Amino acid sequence: MKAVAALVFLDAYGPDNGATRIVPRHLDGGEPDETLSLTTAGEAGDILVFDADLPHGATCNHSGARRRSLLLSFMQEGNRASMEACRAIRNVRMDTGEVFIP
């Protein structure tokens, strides 16, 4: 694991407003099994913590209701350059320029 991600939900979330979908896979790094995919649901204030390499993404927001969240990534500083290098492949469209280094 190179990074851990934490999604902090600011609004209630579920299948109607584009909740995050994750696809579990075996610890041996095998191919993810789409039949095991899970769409998360919960309340504002919930935090979803997961391996950043786990296939994940937002679903369609059919209701138009807000689904605001904060995405936090935790990794060793030495891994940051390789994560930025594959940004386009991972389809990252948000600003990741703000970095906290203790």
The dihedrals phi and psi of 52, each to the nearest 5 degrees, come to -65, -20
- The number of folded domains in the chain is 1
Q: Which of 6-10, 87-91, 93-97 has the highest mean pLDDT?
A: 6-10
Looking up residue 33, the CATH number of its domain turns out to be 2.60.120.620
- Interior CA angle at 67 toward 62 and 73, to 5°? 130
Residue 93 within any structural domain of the chain: no
Residue 100 within any structural domain of the chain: no
Picking from 68, 42, 45, 56, the residue whose alpha carbon sits closest to that of residue 92 is 56
Residue 95 within any structural domain of the chain: no
| Cβ–Cβ under 8 Å, residues 53 and 3 | yes
Question: What is the pLDDT averaged over residues 24-34?
Answer: 77
Percentage of the residues of the chain whose pLDDT score is greater than 70: 85
37-87 pLDDT tens trace: 999 999 999 999 998 888 888 899 999 999 899 888 887 777 777 777 776
Q: Which domain holds residue 19?
A: 3-85
